[in-house]
Amino acid sequence: MKRFAYFIIACLLPCLIFAQSSKRKSELERQRKETQALIQETTRMLSSAKESAAASLNRMTLLTQEINSRRRLISMLNQEVDIISADQSRILKEISVLEGDLSIKKEKYAQAVRSYHKRNSGLDEIVYILSADNFEQSYRRLRYLQEYANWRKTQAEKIVVKRTELQSKKEELDRAKKEKESLLTTRKNEAGNLRKKESEQKTLADQFKKKERSLQAELKKQQANARKLDQQIQKIIEEEARKIAEAQKKNAGKPKTEEMKAQEKVDNELTGGFEKNKGKLPVPVTGSYLIVGKFGKQSHPQIKSLEIENLGIDIQTKQGVDARCVYDGEVTAIVRNPGEPPFVIIRHGNYLTVYNNLSEIYVKKGEKVKTRQSIGKIFTDPATGATKMKFLVYKGSVKQNPEHWIAK
């Protein structure tokens, strides 16, 4: 029984390994295509970047992102090549086993045919049957000839199956070789592209050293704008909280009206729905995009001595792209500061989402909005050529990492 179990495991194990490697290879191919699309989008944005202190910072951010994407791509290509190499080794072993089986079957078949003709001394089958001593012997000879014919037919069919299987494995090996050659060529080209981008990054970094003052001034301006944005949002949140507290105080001890109950139900449903969709909310832009600024405190990617804090994430996209609502809610504020692009705040129960740096606004304060509804056009900076939006998420007055909420 144990031997039979070992035999079954030995038969199934190669199939399981092959299924796992095929699944892993398919996943790597999917990731490689996504990374290549990301590289193309970054390259497009780099080609449209202009020259200025702010543009240089944006260019370095995009360049760093492209280099990281190319490194990931090369890593994926290496993994794919390794999987194909393992597949080639497996196929070669299977071909060796099939060739051995085929050789044994052909030899056994030939031996059986020789033995048959030797025993019958070249007699015709009918003569062989009729030359028997009695009827019973003639019948046995007939049965023997029938069984032998069936056996020979079965063996011939098995040989054909083995030949077909062997040919299929050889074709599979040929496909694997071609796929590997293609991947190796792609890897070589990507390695060349990576070297060029790293050289470009080094040149830009050297230029940064010469422009450090103007770059630091630009960064300080960006950080001041971020603090101003946070203060305005906090002020709006506090004002809303004050109004709610006043209303609750005024209605203390009074039974809730149907309108109050309905609003409370809506708020609870929105809060619950927003939380349930964590990690599944749509990206807040309608076109292709790159996340060029991460959430939280961090060293500046170009000027390491400078610590920055990002209240949300910075999303760069193409000119003319719209900002869109990530979940059902109500427009709670539209803020317009002199000389700056406006921003929109949408409430989803106990959660708020902020869409900053818009050139046009399509919604009004108090308007109910739906998931994926366009709420405004994202501003394109004429000085840098960059179309960027800052996206923020709050739970009450606490900042959240937006990347944890939107779908990957």
Residues 192 and 306 in one domain: no
Domains contained in the chain, number? 2
Q: Look at residue 272 and tell me whether its pLDDT is greater than 80.
A: yes
Residues 178 and 233 in one domain: no
Residues 177 and 225 in one domain: no
Residues 229 and 276 in one domain: yes
- Residue 109 domain-assigned? yes
DSSP 3-state assignment of 191? helix
Residues 170 and 242 in one domain: no
Contact between 244 and 368 under an 8 Å Cβ cutoff? The reply is: no
- Residue 48 domain-assigned? yes
- Among 9-23, 287-301, 349-363, the range with the most confident prediction by mean pLDDT is 349-363
Contact between 346 and 329 under an 8 Å Cβ cutoff? The reply is: yes
Residues 242 and 144 in one domain: no
Name the domain boundary from 207, 240, 275.
207
- Residue 7 domain-assigned? no
Residues 116 and 189 in one domain: yes
Where in 60-107 does DSSP place strands (E)?
Answer: none
Q: State pTM to two decimals.
A: 0.59
Q: What mean pLDDT do residues 137-164 have?
A: 74
Tens-place pLDDT, residues 294-318: 898 887 666 666 677 888 999 999 8
Q: Look at residue 129 and tell me whether its pLDDT is greater than 90.
A: no
Residues 377 and 330 in one domain: yes
CATH of the domain at 339: 2.70.70.10
How far is residue 203 from each of residues 76, 103, 200, 314, measured CA to CA in Å? 28, 64, 5, 25
Query: What pLDDT does residue 20 have?
Result: 60
Q: Which residue has the higher pLDDT, 385 or 152?
A: 385
CATH of the domain at 45: 1.10.287
The closest alpha carbon to 49, from 74, 72, 66, belongs to 66
Q: Look at residue 331 and tell me whether its pLDDT is greater than 80.
A: yes
Tens-place pLDDT, residues 370-403: 999 999 999 998 877 889 999 999 998 889 999 9
- Residue 351 domain-assigned? yes
Q: What mean pLDDT do residues 1-17 have?
A: 48
- Residue 5 domain-assigned? no
Residues 45 and 116 in one domain: yes
- Average pLDDT across the chain, whole number: 78
Tens-place pLDDT, residues 196-237: 887 777 777 776 666 666 667 777 777 777 778 778 888 888
Which range marks the domain in which residue 69 is found? 12-207
CB contact set of 122 (below 8 Å; sequence gap of 6+):
none
- Residue 261 domain-assigned? no
Residues 326 and 366 in one domain: yes
Query: What pLDDT does residue 183 have?
Result: 79
- Residue 2 domain-assigned? no
CA dist., res. 70 & res. 186, Å (int): 12
| Residue 133 CA neighbour count, 13 Å, CB half | 0
Tens-place pLDDT, residues 183-200: 788 888 888 887 888 777
Residues 298 and 217 in one domain: yes
Query: What pLDDT does residue 324 have?
Result: 96
User: Taking the CB of residue 15, how many other CB atoms lie within 10 A of it?
Assistant: 9
Q: What mean pLDDT do residues 4-27 have?
A: 55
Tens-place pLDDT, residues 67-82: 888 888 888 888 888 8
Query: What pLDDT does residue 307 have?
Result: 74
Chain position carrying tokens 């902020």 = 354
- Residue 4 domain-assigned? no
For residue 398, what is the enclosing H or E element? strand 398-400
Residues 198 and 242 in one domain: no
Separation of first and last alpha carbons in the chain:
49
C-beta contacts of 19-28 below 8 A and 24+ residues apart: 21/83, 21/86, 21/87, 24/79, 24/83, 25/80, 25/83, 25/84, 28/76, 28/79, 28/80, 28/83
The closest alpha carbon to 244, from 252, 253, 254, belongs to 252
